[in-house]
Amino acid sequence: MIKKIPIDQLRIGMYIQKLNCGWMDHPFLHNRFMVDGTATLNKILRAGLEEVYIDTSLGADVAAAKIGAADAGEIEKPLCEPSAILPGIVSRLSPVEEFNRAKELYSNASELMQNMMKDVRLGKQVEMEQCEPIVDGIVDSMFRQPSALLPLAQMKSIDEYTFQHSVSVAALAVAFGRVLELPRDEIKALSLGGLLHDVGKAKVPARILNKSGKLDDQEFGIMKSHVSETAALLKGVKGVSEITFNAAAQHHERYDGTGYPYGLKGDQISLYGQMLAIVDVYDAITSLRVYHKGMPPTDALRRVFEWSGTHFNHRLVQAFIKGIGIYPAGSLVRMESERLGVVREVMPDKLLQPVVQLIYDCKRMCHIVPELVSLDASNDRIKSHESFEKWGIDQAKWVMANA
């Protein structure tokens, strides 16, 4: 039996079914676990939670715990009383902590999608309880510090593209929803749609999914079926809202009616389907895949903008660009001072003046001592977008390193 209890009733021997907070707001790797000792109990208390969900079929109930505590003496009392715990102790993280947790989240989310697709191939149903804590983590991280998670979206490998693409789309969808000022619950549902939008690819044969050359008409028809397969997998699954379903089922529809599988046009496509279509294309064309080289983010945004008014809603494209920036976090830029820098943080109201970490001198052709510069307080300006590969700069080193 699942039961919600006040934090002051939590005792050793109980089984946590759900910590009543976002995945990034507690210090545990999982949402479900046994309270197996005083250290674990106090760790939960220090997280500043007010309530938790316990599963009495897997652990002690409230009444049983009280009886056991009375017999055991000190077990009932934690080392720190809840009243003595400082509120919000983990609500804010340092930039390094945030980035490290974002890396862990991105890895866990990619692994989740890989395992989920394996399960789908075996005929199993999509399990929403596995997705919820991951999506909570993505939303929480993006609300706190988008520049921690978004650069990781650029670091995909060919072998794991399908899984990493799903996680990247989920994160980008949050940035998009925030700039449109959607309610948080709608943003979460949209992000969940992003995470699950390609789950139907588990039904596509690997020889087609991983083909390095151009697909023939028959193969392309099979590839397109992944959208219908996704819709079939999500239909009727408990926990999949209308927003989540429409976002996933409509992400290949196009504003001018040229998309698939239904050929919907204009406002026949839900807002969330239109949004995910933009996010999906942007992330796909910026990614290294078996059949094409990834496009630099700024060039990809230019291409998406060119498609606005035909494939995409023009106003939504403008909002998306504002949400992730003309020079997205993690991209390499060349300054008027002839130095190269990695974009660390985007300012939505100052798209041409992000925070940049300068790392390379173009004139001397050498690395320099890294310098973090906020361009809204500097005379230096961005001259152009640059390629990491062109300059022989290790993209992973600088994107994965924290400023």
Tens digits of per-residue pLDDT, 356-370?
Answer: 999 999 999 999 999
The average pLDDT across 32-54 equals: 81
- pLDDT tens digits for range 287-322: 766 556 778 888 899 999 999 989 999 999 999 998
Rounded CA separation 218/153 (Å): 31
Task: Give the range among 42-56, 71-85, 277-291 with minimum mean pLDDT.
Answer: 71-85
Alpha-carbon distance of 332 to 309, in angstroms, equals: 29
Q: Is the pLDDT of residue 351 over 90?
A: no
Amino acid 321: pLDDT: 92
Asked whether the predicted pLDDT for residue 74 surpasses 50, the reply is: no
| Residues contacting residue 396 through CB under 8 Å, at least 6 positions apart | 155
Residue 72 is predicted with a pLDDT of 38
Share of the chain above pLDDT 70, in %: 85
Report, as an integer, the average pLDDT of 335-350: 89
CA triplet 23, 28, 32: central angle to 5 degrees? 80
Whether domain 95-324 has CATH 1.10.357.10: the reply is no
Model confidence band, residue 85 (pLDDT cutoffs 50, 70, 90): very low
Alpha-carbon gap, residue 249 to 257, rounded angstroms = 15
In single-letter form, the type of residue at position 142 comes to M
354 phi, psi to nearest 5 deg = -75, 175
The pLDDT of residue 363 is 95
Does position 168 have pLDDT exceeding 90, yes or no? yes
Q: What is the pLDDT of residue 157?
A: 61
Query: Which pLDDT does position 349 carry in this prediction?
Result: 74
Residue 29 has pLDDT above 70, yes or no: no
Asked whether the predicted pLDDT for residue 197 surpasses 70, the reply is: yes
Could you tell me the pLDDT band of residue 25, with boundaries at 50, 70 and 90?
A: low
What count of other Cβ atoms lies within 10 Å of the Cβ of residue 157? 11
User: What confidence tens digit (pLDDT) does each residue in 237-292 have?
Assistant: 988 999 999 999 999 999 999 999 999 999 999 999 999 999 999 999 987 665 56
Residue 134, pLDDT score: 93
Q: Write down the residue that tokens 């992730």 correspond to.
A: 324
pLDDT score at 67? 38
Every domain of the chain and the residues it spans: 2-84, 95-324, 332-400
Q: Is 155:106 a contact under the CB 8 Å cutoff?
A: no
Global pTM reads 0.73
Please say if the pLDDT value at position 114 is more than 60. yes
Report whether pLDDT(24) > 60: no
Selected residue with higher pLDDT from 153 and 137 = 137
Separation between Cα atoms, residue 341 and residue 359, nearest integer Å: 5
| Predicted confidence (pLDDT) at residue 159 exceeds the cutoff of 70 | no
Burial of 384 (0-12, 13-18, 19+ CB in 10 A): exposed
Tell me the pLDDT of the chain averaged across its residues. 84
Q: Closest by alpha carbon to 164, among 105, 222, 230, 251?
A: 105
